[in-house]
């Protein structure tokens, strides 16, 4: 979790629908924004959904954890270099501007199907940016899987 200057964690929860301007800037909810100046999010084109790609947004602590997880993989594991190349080649650092927006690179927005509207979805320790149509499909699939997933919480 991102630590604020008051040492309280940032939880990325809820979902928000925002417009995307002509420069592909998207408003980040105030409670999700870094409190320290100069902090950047890492944006990764995330291909893991059957509905299509989205943009996964990692705060610095989560990106460091991802790097640590990849580094811990065996060098003989061919997935290690695939992940490094894919994440390295398909990610960018995105500062939050003075009005609380981040800018999606054109190719990333196009691959994720994000045009005039976007849905920001909290994943507790990070968040995702979806095109509304793709997110509707993911949300419907999640609703089907949720009863089974919640059994793990008992």
Report the share of the chain in percent with pLDDT over 70: 95
Q: Is the pTM of this model over 0.85?
A: yes
What single string gives the DSSP state of each residue in 35-78? SSTT-EEEEEEE---TT--EEEEE-HHHHHHHHHHHHHS-TT-H
* In the predicted structure, residue 67 carries a pLDDT above the cut 70: yes
- 85-110 pLDDT, tens digit per residue, is 989 988 999 999 999 999 999 999 99
Please give the tally of structural domains in the chain: 1
On whether the CB atoms of residues 26 and 118 are closer than 8 A, the answer is yes
Q: Residue 19 pairs with which residues in a beta bridge?
A: 117
Report the share of the chain in percent with pLDDT over 90: 73
Domain with residue 93: its CATH number is: 3.40.1550.20
On whether the CB atoms of residues 58 and 127 are closer than 8 A, the answer is no
* In the predicted structure, residue 7 carries a pLDDT above the cut 70: no
Residue numbers of the domain that contains 35: 2-151
Query: Average per-residue pLDDT in the chain?
Result: 91
**The two structure tokens encoding residue 45:** 């084109």
Instruction: Give the separation between CA 4 and CA 80, rounded to whole angstroms.
Output: 32
User: Would you give the distance in Å from CA 128 to the centre of its chain?
Assistant: 3
């Amino acid at each position: 979790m991102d630590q604020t200057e008051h040492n309280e964690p940032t939880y990325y929860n809820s979902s928000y629908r925002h417009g995307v301007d002509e420069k592909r800037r998207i408003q980040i909810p105030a409670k999700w924004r870094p409190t320290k100046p100069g902090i950047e999010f890492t944006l990764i084109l995330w291909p893991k959904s059957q509905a299509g790609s989205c943009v996964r947004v990692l705060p610095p602590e989560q990106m460091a954890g991802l790097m640590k997880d990849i580094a811990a993989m065996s060098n003989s594991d061919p997935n290690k270099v695939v992940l490094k190349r894919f994440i390295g080649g398909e990610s960018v650092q995105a500062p939050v501007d003075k009005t609380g927006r981040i800018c999606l690179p054109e190719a990333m927005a196009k691959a994720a199907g994000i045009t005039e509207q976007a849905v920001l979805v909290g994943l507790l320790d990070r968040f995702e940016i979806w095109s509304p149509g793709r997110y509707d499909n993911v949300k419907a699939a999640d609703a089907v899987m949720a009863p089974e997933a919640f059994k793990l919480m008992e």
